[in-house]
């Protein structure tokens, strides 16, 4: 009965095959967790965008409903004026055409609203059939929160918070682990071995076992075993290949970091541009409302035509839609910026935990 111990002094001393595989497996586990986290981030961004699209679709329906009311009222007033001979029958036809066009736009807006509802429901549930009759209702309206953009801070967030960048860094760490292992394989094998044991002998098994218990026959040994191949080409080739893999992983990481910086820069530009469009479209809508009100007064005084009033009504409807589009684009741009920074889960209070 005995025990033997072997301690590598050169090759396999600081890392060997089993330890390398265990370390790589831990890195793979962490990488898979980061992959899941990034998937959650992208899904959260999709839900946010779908939510804003739902709000915009509802507001667009209201705009078209208001436009339809204007068209119906205008047609009613035009009919009265045609009956008393103030306007020609052609003016009535123009008003009717405007009404039918507005009704078609309203039907299209309602169809878009249904599509937006279905898209959000598909993202919120894994049982769409159970939610088919549910109509999600937003709890807020589109707004334009003021955001001070700091490119340096956003870049810093992206470099430290993006899960995909962390995955590239883990890939680099894995290649460095392989490089360390392959470097260690360049050394010859020098193992310090020791053994200690006891023996017992007798004509019967019980007597031999008694000799073991009495420790009457101890034995021990120490030795150093040195071995090396005559040609170490395979180890040298593996080491060179590992070095190239490290360089490749580093280049891929640098490439991805630059892509993230560009993505964040573009997201900031889109958000800032969208915010500027909000004020421009709001002013355009205000001017369109004033122009329509003034033209209606001119029409009442006989100094304008139905055609001009109808044109200004269409312009106002387009201005309202443009303002809604600008608000929607801005809010979606902020969500995209948060996704590009890697801060979207933190901003929305979402935590991803792994056990």
3-state helix, strand, coil in the chain (%, to 5): 75, 10, 20
CA distance 170 to 175: 9
Instruction: Identify the residue with better confidence: 202 or 59.
Output: 59
Average pLDDT over residues 22-36: 95
- Poorest-pLDDT segment among 152-166, 262-276, 296-310: 296-310
CATH of domain 2-188+228-347: 1.20.1600.10
CA distance 255 to 171: 14
CA distance 120 to 52: 10
CA distance 136 to 127: 15
Task: Indicate whether 204 pLDDT > 80.
Answer: no
Q: What is the sign, positive or negative, of the torsion defined by CA atoms of 47, 50, 54, 59?
A: positive
CA distance 80 to 83: 5
Distances (CA, A) of 176 to 159, 172, 235, 247, 276: 21, 6, 16, 10, 48
Distances (CA, A) of 99 to 12, 86, 208, 292: 85, 21, 111, 17
Kind of pairing between the strands at 218-227 and 2-8: unpaired
Task: Indicate whether 191 pLDDT > 80.
Answer: yes
């Amino acid at each position: 009965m005995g025990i033997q111990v072997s301690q590598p002094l050169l090759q396999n001393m600081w890392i060997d095959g089993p330890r390398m595989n265990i370390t790589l497996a831990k890195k793979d586990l962490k990488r898979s967790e980061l992959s899941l986290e990034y998937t959650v981030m992208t899904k959260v961004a999709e839900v946010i965008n779908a939510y804003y699209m739902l709000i915009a679709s509802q507001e667009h329906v209201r705009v078209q409903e208001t436009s339809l009311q204007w068209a119906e009222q205008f047609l009613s007033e035009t009919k009265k004026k045609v009956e008393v001979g103030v306007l020609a029958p052609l003016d009535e036809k123009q008003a009717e055409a405007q009404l039918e066009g507005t009704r078609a736009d309203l039907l299209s807006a309602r169809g878009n609203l249904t599509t937006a509802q279905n898209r959000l429901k598909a993202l919120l549930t894994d049982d769409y059939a159970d939610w088919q009759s549910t109509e999600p209702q937003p709890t807020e309206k589109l707004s334009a929160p003021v955001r001070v953009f700091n490119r340096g801070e956003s870049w810093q967030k992206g470099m430290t918070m993006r899960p995909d960048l962390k995955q590239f860094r883990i890939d680099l760490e894995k290649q460095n682990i392989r490089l360390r292992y392959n470097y260690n394989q360049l050394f010859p094998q020098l193992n310090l071995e020791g053994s200690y044991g006891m023996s017992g002998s007798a004509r019967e098994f019980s007597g031999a076992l008694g000799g073991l218990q009495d420790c009457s026959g101890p034995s021990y040994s120490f030795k150093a075993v040195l071995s090396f191949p005559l040609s170490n080409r395979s180890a040298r080739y593996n080491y060179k290949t590992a070095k190239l893999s490290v360089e490749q992983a580093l280049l891929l990481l640098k490439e991805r970091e630059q892509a993230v910086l560009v993505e964040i820069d573009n997201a900031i530009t889109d958000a800032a541009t969208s915010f500027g469009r909000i004020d421009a479209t709001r002013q355009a809508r205000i001017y369109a409302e004033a122009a329509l009100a003034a033209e209606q007064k001119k029409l009442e005084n006989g100094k304008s035509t139905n055609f001009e009033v109808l044109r200004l009504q269409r312009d106002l409807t387009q201005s309202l839609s443009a303002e809604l589009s600008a608000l929607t684009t801005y809010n979606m741009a902020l969500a995209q910026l948060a996704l590009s920074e890697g801060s979207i889960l933190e901003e929305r209070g979402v935590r991803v935990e792994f056990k």
